[in-house]
Chain A
Amino acid sequence: MSDKKHIDRIFQEKFKDFDVMPNDAVWEGIEARLEKKKKKQRIIPIWWQLGGVAAAIVLMFTVGNMLINNNPDTPIIVDIDKQQVEDTTKNNIDNASQKGSTQIASEDIIDSNENNESSTVNEEEKTSQKQLYKSNNKEDVVAYQNSTSEKSKENTTNLISKNNNKNTIETIVASTNSTKSITTDNLQIKSESEINEIINSSTKSATTVASTEKEDGKAGEDKVSKILKEKETKEEKGQDIEEAIAEAKKINEEEEKELRRWSISPNVAPVYFNSLGQGSSIDAQFNDNNTSSDISMSYGVKGSYAVNNRLKVTAGINKVSFNNTTNDVIALSDNAFSSRASNSSNGNLENVKLSNSVNHASLMLLSRSSISNNTVSEAINTLQTGNLEQRFGFIEIPLEVEYRLVDKKLGVNLSGGFSTLLLNENEIFADVNGQSTQIGEANNLRDTSFSANFGVGVDYSLTDKININLEPKFKYQINTFNNTSGDFRPFFIGVYTGLSFKF
């Protein structure tokens, strides 16, 4: 039983399967030390992160303020008004010679079987429209109604005496099937005096608008200079922060050699557009109308750079389009009564520019509610109610900071920042009787606007290179419209989903 063995062999054999589990306390100690180290590393990055967020907010605020206060569009608005006045003057003169030019807008709207009728209507109108007012191009409404009513009065067009130059009067185009007996002469008596009143009020309001805007401009300059000062001080602070950042970088560099810093993520999102307050981007008379929006899609791609394990800076590009439908809109063909009915804006749709196809139209859209308040013939109430649909789209360039709250396989992060929105789609449609007709575009949409963004995202790492993301985002639009009515504060919500590839 006593094999002789080399002492080395004895130890080697005996310890071959030697396996002892240490106390749990050992692991707790390790955990505590790892945790401590993590916390130490995080101190400087937190300042850095807060600094980044603060910088983004300051930047947004500064840019937004400068744009709002230094509104470059202000003088243009005034110019447009003048131009309009001139145009209308011209138009009046033109009208004197071209009598019948206010015709039914784009005849394509009209069903072919109605063509005959409508042309006869035109002819009759011509005879009675010697003093017809032509609309400036601003607002247009296309609608045609099938009402077979015999109300000849509503069927007439506005007749206004020539000597009034400065009106901005909306005309109405409507192809009514109604029979033609147009007793225009009665309406014509809607005399000059009434029209003069309207004109005066409108010119007054124009000048007051101009003057208040001037004041705003001055106040704006002061603000801007203040903001610039603030910026300078911030920049000084920024240097301190930068130093801290540089230090933090050095410290972290060793540890983070392997961190995948860059990632690219294509994404797609259903987006929903709405306004925080009651109001209309089209015209004040629609302020109280119900609006609705369809859910549309946004597509894009974003790239991100991980500053550290927690903080990412992202930028990207997205295409996004919206629609916003104003309900309870009726179409009229009678200018005479519309000048009374739409007390808010002289009957014009403030923010719509007619498209060429309906250039010669004399169309009008009114909010049903605004009409019911007026002493108008009951006949109005039988008119068809339709919708006014505004479609607009942007190229969105988001710039955001993303902070990772939970850094595991299933991660949670917060993001905030802003987007630059470049207008690339702008149309207005009238939907009456289930038929949708493009009538023009909004003239109050800015080519460049901004949005403040906030989102909470969840991601799941499929592999160490690929993540799948889901991120609901709220984007509050800033400066998108330069002239809205009521309390119109647009925003949109999107649920951004996509894959992100790290490298």
Chain B
Amino acid sequence: MSLKELINQCKEKDANAQGQLYKQYASKLFSLCLKYSKNYVEAEDNLQDAFVTIFNKIEQYKQKGSFEGWMKRIAINTALQRYRQIGVFNIIDENAIEDVSIEIDNDEIDLDFLLQIIQNLPDRYRLVFNLYVMDGFSHNEISKMLDISTGTSKSNLARARQILKQKIENYKANLNSQSL
């Protein structure tokens, strides 16, 4: 069955089609949710919310643009929604930090570790980092999505990078000391 047919059946609330669509896209969206959430359980919650929204709003998808992209936007919005609701973004701007380019060694860094340090970032840093680095949104877009200034977005990103770099360096140091 083509994706188009599958989508049309989902529009008719066909339970089988919904199951199939879920199977096809659950892993992609779940990995996205994992990055945007602070832990596994929250990621599951976000994924669930995202899919319920997808199935209820699927009629609004007009076959323009990629369906996967459309679903990702919903998943991201779902994740953002969570923090909007609890008002995390009302924190005052921090002082803008210079955007420093950080260079580190690239070798066998464990993916799970990277995910873990992303999840452990403060909520705002994590969201901005994901939006900018992982999903390619501009600071301008991010400022609108999160209802912050572009300056805040930039400084949050810089802070996120520094934290991540720090953690990776610590991790590597740990590895080295173990191997010695």
Which chain B residues lie closer than 8 Å to A309 at the CB level? 12-13
Q: Mark A3-38, 1 if CB is under 8 A from B, else 0.
A: 111111111101100111111011101110110011
Say whether B173 faces chain A, with CB atoms less than 8 Å apart.
no
> In this complex, what residue of A is CB-closest to B161?
A7
Q: Mark B91-125, 1 if CB is under 8 A from A, else 0.
A: 00000000001111111010100110010000000
Say whether A464 faces chain B, with CB atoms less than 8 Å apart.
yes
Question: Contact check: which of B13, B22, B118 meets A38 at CB < 8 Å?
Answer: B13
Alpha-carbon distance between A33 and B107 when the two chains are bound, in angstroms:
44
Contact (Cβ within 8 A) A2 B105: yes
Q: Mark B23-65, 1 if CB is under 8 A from A, else 0.
A: 0001110110011000000011001100110011001000000
Contact (Cβ within 8 A) B133 A20: no
> In this complex, what residue of B is CB-closest to A2?
B105
Say whether B80 faces chain A, with CB atoms less than 8 Å apart.
no
Say whether B18 faces chain A, with CB atoms less than 8 Å apart.
yes
Contact (Cβ within 8 A) B107 A19: no
Distance of B120 from chain A, by nearest CB (Å): 14
Alpha-carbon distance between A11 and B168 when the two chains are bound, in angstroms:
11
The verdict on A26 contacting B26 (CB below 8 Å), with A10-B104, A34-B55 known, is yes
Say whether B87 faces chain A, with CB atoms less than 8 Å apart.
no
Across chains A and B, the number of contacting residue pairs, with CB separation under 8 Å, is: 117
The verdict on A10 contacting B19 (CB below 8 Å), with A20-B31, A30-B48 known, is no
Which chain A residues lie closer than 8 Å to B47 at the CB level? 22, 26
Distance of A12 from chain B, by nearest CB (Å): 7
Contact (Cβ within 8 A) A4 B103: yes
Question: Contact check: which of A7, A19, A30 meets B22 at CB < 8 Å?
Answer: A30
Alpha-carbon distance between A346 and B31 when the two chains are bound, in angstroms:
93
Contact (Cβ within 8 A) B106 A5: yes
Question: Contact check: which of A3, A4, A11, A408 meets B134 at CB < 8 Å?
Answer: A11
Contact (Cβ within 8 A) A37 B56: yes
Alpha-carbon distance between A3 and B31 when the two chains are bound, in angstroms:
27
Task: Name which of B28, B43, B52 has the most chain A CB atoms within 10 A of its CB.
Answer: B52
Say whether B8 faces chain A, with CB atoms less than 8 Å apart.
yes
Contact (Cβ within 8 A) B165 A20: no
Alpha-carbon distance between A14 and B114 when the two chains are bound, in angstroms:
8
> In this complex, what residue of B is CB-closest to A8?
B133
Number of residues on chain B facing chain A (CB within 8 A): 45
Question: Contact check: which of B15, B44, B59 meets A26 at CB < 8 Å?
Answer: B44
Which chain B residues lie closer than 8 Å to A19 at the CB level? 27-28, 31
Contact (Cβ within 8 A) A33 B52: yes
Distance of A109 from chain B, by nearest CB (Å): 63
The verdict on A3 contacting B161 (CB below 8 Å), with A11-B134, A14-B114, A34-B55 known, is no
Task: Name which of A6, A10, A255 has the most chain B CB atoms within 10 A of its CB.
Answer: A10
> In this complex, what residue of B is CB-closest to A25?
B44
Which chain A residues lie closer than 8 Å to B52 at the CB level? 30, 33-34
Which chain B residues lie closer than 8 Å to A236 at the CB level? none
Which chain B residues lie closer than 8 Å to A33 at the CB level? 48, 52
Say whether A240 faces chain B, with CB atoms less than 8 Å apart.
no
Say whether B16 faces chain A, with CB atoms less than 8 Å apart.
yes
Say whether B14 faces chain A, with CB atoms less than 8 Å apart.
yes
Say whether B84 faces chain A, with CB atoms less than 8 Å apart.
no
Question: Contact check: which of A14, A21, A37 meets B26 at CB < 8 Å?
Answer: A21
Contact (Cβ within 8 A) A21 B22: no
Alpha-carbon distance between A255 and B60 when the two chains are bound, in angstroms:
10
Alpha-carbon distance between A79 and B112 when the two chains are bound, in angstroms:
99
Distance of A54 from chain B, by nearest CB (Å): 27
Alpha-carbon distance between A19 and B29 when the two chains are bound, in angstroms:
8
Say whether B145 faces chain A, with CB atoms less than 8 Å apart.
no
Alpha-carbon distance between A501 and B105 when the two chains are bound, in angstroms:
64
Which chain B residues lie closer than 8 Å to A409 at the CB level? 9, 14
Alpha-carbon distance between A297 and B79 when the two chains are bound, in angstroms:
62
Contact (Cβ within 8 A) B111 A14: yes
> In this complex, what residue of A is CB-closest to B110?
A14
Contact (Cβ within 8 A) B103 A5: yes
Distance of B56 from chain A, by nearest CB (Å): 7
> In this complex, what residue of A is CB-closest to B52?
A33
Say whether B164 faces chain A, with CB atoms less than 8 Å apart.
yes
Q: Which of A465-483 contact B (CB under 8 A)?
A: none
The verdict on A18 contacting B8 (CB below 8 Å), with A27-B22, A34-B55 known, is no
Say whether A250 faces chain B, with CB atoms less than 8 Å apart.
no
Which chain A residues lie closer than 8 Å to B161 at the CB level? 7-8
Alpha-carbon distance between A434 and B52 when the two chains are bound, in angstroms:
72
Which chain B residues lie closer than 8 Å to A7 at the CB level? 102-104, 161, 164-165, 168
Say whether A258 faces chain B, with CB atoms less than 8 Å apart.
yes
Q: Mark A380-412, 1 if CB is under 8 A from B, else 0.
A: 000000000000000000000000000111000
Say whether A204 faces chain B, with CB atoms less than 8 Å apart.
no
Distance of A448 from chain B, by nearest CB (Å): 40
Alpha-carbon distance between A10 and B161 when the two chains are bound, in angstroms:
11
> Could you list 25 examples of A-B contacts with CB < 8 Å?
A3-B105, A5-B103, A8-B161, A11-B114, A11-B133, A11-B134, A14-B111, A15-B115, A15-B134, A18-B115, A19-B28, A22-B47, A26-B48, A29-B48, A30-B48, A30-B51, A33-B48, A33-B52, A34-B55, A255-B59, A257-B59, A258-B59, A309-B12, A464-B8, A464-B9
Interface residues of A (CB under 8 A from B): 1-12, 14-15, 18-23, 25-27, 29-31, 33-34, 37-38, 255, 257-258, 309, 407-409, 464
Give 8 nearest A-B pairs by CB, closest first.
A4-B103, A2-B105, A22-B30, A5-B106, A18-B31, A258-B59, A21-B27, A19-B27
Besides A18-B35, A18-B111, A30-B22, 15 other A-B contacts (C-beta < 8 A)? A5-B105, A5-B106, A8-B161, A9-B106, A18-B34, A20-B27, A21-B30, A22-B27, A22-B47, A23-B44, A26-B48, A26-B51, A31-B18, A34-B18, A34-B55
